[in-house]
Structure 1
Amino acid sequence: MNLRDEVGLGAIYIGTLIGAGFASGQEIISFFTVYGKYGFLGILTATFFFFVLGYIILKQAIRQKSQCARDILLPLAGEKLTLLFDLMTDIFCLAGYYIMLSGCGAVLNESLSLNYTYAVIIFSIVIVWCLNKEMSGLAELNKILVAIILIITAAIGFFCFKDWQGISYNIDMPFAKRGWLVSSVTYVSYNITLALVVLSSLGSYTDKESAALGAAAIGAFGIMSMGTLMWFITWANFQLLSGVQIPLLWVARQHGNFLYLSSITALLAAMFTTALGLGFSFAKSISKRLGIRYKSALNFLFIGIPLTKYSFAGLIKQIYPFFGKAGIFFTILLVIRRFLSPKNRII
């Protein structure tokens, strides 16, 4: 049984979602770990939604041979809303791309004392070079990088489990039992915009509509595995992580320099995979919008490099909440269109 297409699409799906916030542990702490054991239920809930929504988006993308978010949104939202969301997603792709570049520069500067500006420029050149290989190269790179991230995270999780005394931390947070579900749904809605803009540009990756199901399952399982590992790592060390900016690096450092350097590799790989997906989606959208070659559109990725001079945390704080709200709107739109408009169903 040949699952090449499913694995390729699934790897891109995972690589897109495990950006800096996820791989560093910050997102997992904010949305899941703070709820203690209930955080694990939140991860399972998020996994379910990522599977369902990922399947819907991929199914529609393959069916329509879509190259950008507009191709999927037009039959769902109409011309006016699609135009608005189309412009928003282009901005989101570019902004998210620069956030990932900024993150790579910040990690290398703080951990290895490398020059921030040089690191950003080098990463930008490498990413554009990789994107010249288009979809096949994108899939192969994601397969490799996602595997590296998973192995390193599993190793850190293993050492945490080895040192764990079996203590069950009852994290004191008001309404934790009720809040984990809302937090899980919010997390999905904040990330579904990211999934939409990347997955919708992969419509010509395969002719098999059936690949959408396997790819969504692989993607959701990968996110669940990574999320569970990160939840345990941050939960087992929760009382020690107060005020820590990058939890994964802090925990890894407690287990030696080799694991610490490996965790830096994992974090860079996570940001790299997300930057690849966002850069690819932006170039695809711009090439279609302006009627230019894809490889020419890649040059637009260099334009906003000066934006990376702003702090990594500052960029996330300003940009992500806005697109999180857009993700909530899109999720509601998908559900309404799927279940209340039979003639327009996309499954």
Structure 2
Amino acid sequence: MNDKISIVKVASIYMATIVGAGFASGQEIVQFFSSYYEGGFFGIITAGILFSVIGYVVLDKVYTERIRNYEELLFPSVGWFMGWVIEIAVSLFMLSVFCVMITGAGSIFFDKLEIPFKYGIILMTVICMVLIFTGIKGIIAISTAVTPVLIAGILLVALYVIIFNDTSALSIYGCFAGITNNWFFSALLYVGYNSIVSVVVMCSLLPHLKSRKIAALSGILGGMLLCFIALIINTVIYVFNPDMLLKELPLLSITEKYGGILNTVYALVLWLSMLISAVTSGYGFVERVAGKININKKIITVIICLLVIPMSRFGFSGLISTVYPLFGYVGLFLITVILTQDINLKWSRFFKKASVERRNK
């Protein structure tokens, strides 16, 4: 029973780094998958398989090599120069995600509570600042508690829309341009940028990996659940009103048609997903900066939160369509190196074992 709880806990933390506002709102799904029509479903399955493989490989590596932080994985994998290039890119991406999530929350405060956008941004920034102050223990506790709620909320709302909506005459053909020219490469970019933060977080999970089995199954479970949820969201978007593909928050716009409690529940789910992603990425960025300069983490947190506020003017969907694909290439390089090294290591061990067995005969 303890192993099962640990597997669910680690898988939840892994998923929390990916099930952010872009995912839960449907904006990422629209831009990276739905715009490719039927190909989007194949793209999601491809991404799900890759997330499972990456989760398995990285967590297994963290457990077997007793990796305690991101640098211990990064620099031995890619070398000093590329390590620093990726380190800078990772830090900038975390800052970008922090900004994107706060911008999305500002949109929700404006749409649902009629709080002026700039005040919504300030309110979300203050909440994130307080939570970042709690440190890694507080963030893990929040992720573990909230992620199951997010998953349940996304699935229940999406299934409700699918079951009770008349979709016989709806189509999305010709309504939206994709991030790339094909669904396969788009899926690779999606996995690439999401892997940046998820690998960083997984490298801090050694205290929660009590066995190699927990490490392996947590990564696989996290990837499988991400794939399942993304397929449900894509189904809703695929069969629903094509106008929703151009909305800032597609799924929230869809639930508005039903009004009442369904729309309110999903607005809360979406806000929680933004909060988790913002706090996770914000904390990661603070940790990276604090590791390079000798300044109190709380002071760094305050400064970063103040700098993020003016960045929010670019808008939620605009940031996702420009910032995320750019960092997707960095993430692709990183996971290619990690997976290639893992394959080479396993082949080397296999041939060494086979050689020993031949000599013994």
TM-score range, shorter chain: 0.7 to 0.9
CA drift of 1:257 comes to: 2.2
2:127 is matched with which residue? 126
1:250 is matched with which residue? 253
- Higher-Rg structure is 2
Question: What one-letter code is carried by the residue in structure 1 that aligns with 2:32?
Answer: F
* CA–CA separation in structure 1 for the residues paired with 2:286 and 2:348: 29
* CA–CA separation in structure 1 for the residues paired with 2:213 and 2:287: 24
* Structure 2: gaps (5+ residues): 350-361
Q: Secondary structure at the match of 1:229?
A: helix
Please give the per-residue CA displacement for 1:178-208, whole angstroms capped at 9, x wherever unaligned: 9333332232123222322332333444454
**Aligned with residue 234 of structure 1, among 232, 237, 259:** 237
**Aligned with residue 270 of structure 1, among 252, 267, 273:** 273
1:22 is matched with which residue? 23
Question: Is 328-337 or 250-259 further displaced after alignment?
Answer: 328-337
Task: Give the alignment of 1:148-159 within 5 angstroms.
Answer: 148-159=149-160
Relative distance call for 1:278 and 1:64 in structure 2 (3 A) is farther
Contact 2:171 2:240 in 1 (8 A): no
Is the counterpart of residue 316 in structure 1 residue 320 in structure 2?
yes
**Aligned with residue 192 of structure 1, among 192, 195, 200:** 195
Q: Secondary structure at the match of 2:115?
A: coil
CA drift of 1:24 comes to: 1.2
Question: What one-letter code is carried by the residue in structure 1 that aligns with 2:85?
Answer: L
* CA–CA separation in structure 1 for the residues paired with 2:153 and 2:208: 29
CA drift of 1:72 comes to: 1.1
Question: Is 289-298 or 8-17 further displaced after alignment?
Answer: 289-298
Please give the per-residue CA displacement for 1:37-67, whole angstroms capped at 9, x wherever unaligned: 4432322221110011122222333445545
**Aligned with residue 339 of structure 2, among 323, 328, 335:** 335
CA drift of 1:242 comes to: 4.5
CA drift of 1:155 comes to: 2.6
Contact 2:33 2:186 in 1 (8 A): yes
Relative distance call for 1:306 and 1:25 in structure 2 (3 A) is closer
Relative distance call for 1:265 and 1:195 in structure 2 (3 A) is same
CA drift of 1:166 comes to: 6.6
* TM-score normalized by the length of structure 1: 0.86
Contact 1:10 1:219 in 2 (8 A): yes
Question: Is 60-69 or 220-229 further displaced after alignment?
Answer: 60-69
Relative distance call for 1:214 and 1:139 in structure 2 (3 A) is farther
* CA–CA separation in structure 1 for the residues paired with 2:133 and 2:4: 25
* Structure 1: gaps (5+ residues): none
* CA–CA separation in structure 2 for the residues paired with 1:202 and 1:291: 25
1:7 is matched with which residue? 8
Q: RMSD between aligned alpha carbons?
A: 3.0
1:112 is matched with which residue? 113
Relative distance call for 1:124 and 1:61 in structure 2 (3 A) is farther
* CA–CA separation in structure 1 for the residues paired with 2:241 and 2:188: 23
Q: Secondary structure at the match of 1:2?
A: helix
Give aligned-pair identity as a percent. Answer: 22
Question: What one-letter code is carried by the residue in structure 1 that aligns with 2:326?
Answer: F
Is the counterpart of residue 78 in structure 1 residue 79 in structure 2?
yes
* CA–CA separation in structure 1 for the residues paired with 2:340 and 2:169: 41
* CA–CA separation in structure 1 for the residues paired with 2:64 and 2:295: 24
Relative distance call for 1:166 and 1:319 in structure 2 (3 A) is closer
